[in-house]
Amino acid sequence: MPLNEILAIAMVVAFFALLIVGIPVGVAIAVSALVFGYAGFGPTLFNLLPARVYGVVTNYTLMAIPLFVFMGVMLEKSRLAEELLDVVGHLFGRVAGGMAIAIIFVGVLLGAATGIVGATIVTLGLLTLPPLLRRGYSKSLACGTICASGTLGQIIPPSLVLILLSDILGESVGTMFAAAMLPGLMLAAIYVLAIVILTMLKPEVAPPIPAEERAAMDRRRLVRKIITVVVPPIGLVVAVLGSIIGGVAAPTEAASMGAVGALLVVALAGKASLRLLSEVVHSTLLISAMVFFILICAQAFGLAFRGLGGERLVHDLFELVPGGVTGSLMFLMLLIFVLGFFLEWIEISYIALPLFLPFFVREGVDLVWLGILISMNLQTSFLTPPFGWALFFLKGVAPPGVSTGDIYRGAVPFIALQGLAVGLVFTFPAVATWLPKAIGW
């Protein structure tokens, strides 16, 4: 094996080793890339790197990231989710498992409105886990529902995952958003169906809201709450996504409209303040800086890996996989799933995916379909022990009686449901490709 290919393998191993010892992701990416890249072909790497970094910081589409983050953080920190949960909970509260179904519905709305997994899970955990346990819900079902609902923002647009994947795959953001709509809603429907079936078999694990509690909110008040609390966020999401998917506005333009719309929604709800704005801007800066720092460092890694002959190594690896392109796709899905036990989605997206992508481009695989498969698969990285962030977020806000084991046991069935959804999109590609083609993307 040539020396450069040995260095490429050593670079990947060094990256994982640095992560294991606790080095921050961006630093681990940059150090492993620069050290082994320099060892392989000297200072030439540093001559090429500025152009790659310049391409990231001047990418017009990536400007949508801080704007969508601002929109999400504004809606999250304004605590509109509390009223939203109250209203939707009463709508579904009459049936067994109704509160769990309401949490999934709210997870869809918060996912579309915020796209921030940590914020959604913390919000849902604080607001719903204690009431669910008081009403007799199974600990594992309550925890699993909250964790799974919080991750829906990774597939339901506007999602940071989809924006970054569109950049990696070379597809438009609007196409990726359109392709993700049906799979995202299908996954939420699978969650709901599973809860309905479970409560039909075991109604004691998810009893309905008591009649006296439901009676506390009369119908007129409920209708008023729906109009003032539920409709504005839905209208904002429809306006933003509709303008992108319909081709009326570019993603960055729609994101700016979403940011302004979030300000208006919060102001109309009477929750706007300078303190809130300051907190939102600070959080947006931190989240956006983290994302762009990793993106910039990933340019060095990709440059070094390709320069060291890593693409040929990957091609040879897939040639050894039986089953042709289908077998290679299944191998990639399994690999991403396993990596999700140890890495975050952004590391997998910008480190692992670019290593394998050229092979599938040469084989003529539909990149939009591939991107949706990957994004749905990446959702599992939030739920898979030992490093599933959704599990950590919920444990941080769970009442003392809820153990880590309860959370893990609750997440496992939803991981299986996510696997089922990936399998359906894999078997029936039209679930992802029909809508973009129907609207002419």
60-86, pLDDT tens digit by residue? 777 877 887 787 778 767 766 666 766
Confidence grade of residue 262 (pLDDT, cut at 50, 70, 90) = confident
Mean pLDDT, the chain, rounded, equals 81
What are 231's two structure tokens?
Answer: 């409709």
Q: What is the number of other CB atoms lying within 10 angstroms of the CB of residue 426?
A: 19
What is the pLDDT averaged over residues 423-427?
94
Query: Where are the domains positioned within the chain?
Result: 3-438
d(C-alpha 16, C-alpha 10), whole Å: 10
pLDDT at 158 over 80: no
Cβ neighbours around 367 below 10 Å, total: 20
Cβ within 8 Å of residue 53, ≥6 positions away: 296, 299
CA 359, 362, 365, 370 torsion-angle sign: positive
| Per-residue confidence band for 373, with pLDDT thresholds at 50, 70 and 90 | very high
64 contacts 255 by C-beta, under 8 angstroms: yes
Output the pLDDT for position 265.
Answer: 82
Instruction: Specify which of 141-145, 289-293, 385-389 reaches the highest per-range mean pLDDT.
Output: 141-145
Q: Which amino acid makes up residue 166?
A: S
Question: Residue 440's pLDDT is what?
Answer: 64
307-355 tens-digit pLDDT: 787 767 766 777 777 777 888 888 888 888 887 776 777 777 877 787 7
pLDDT at 216: 61
C-alpha 83, offset from chain centre: 24
pLDDT at 187: 94
Cα 397 from Cα 354, distance rounded (Å): 36
Q: What's the pLDDT at 157?
A: 81
Q: What's the Cα-to-Cα distance from 291 to each of 26, 65, 69, 261, 297, rounded to whole Å?
A: 9, 9, 11, 23, 10
Region of 309 please: left (phi>0), alpha (psi -120 to 50) or beta. left
Say yes or no to pLDDT of 146 above 70.
yes
Most confident of 60-69, 118-127, 207-216, 358-367: 358-367
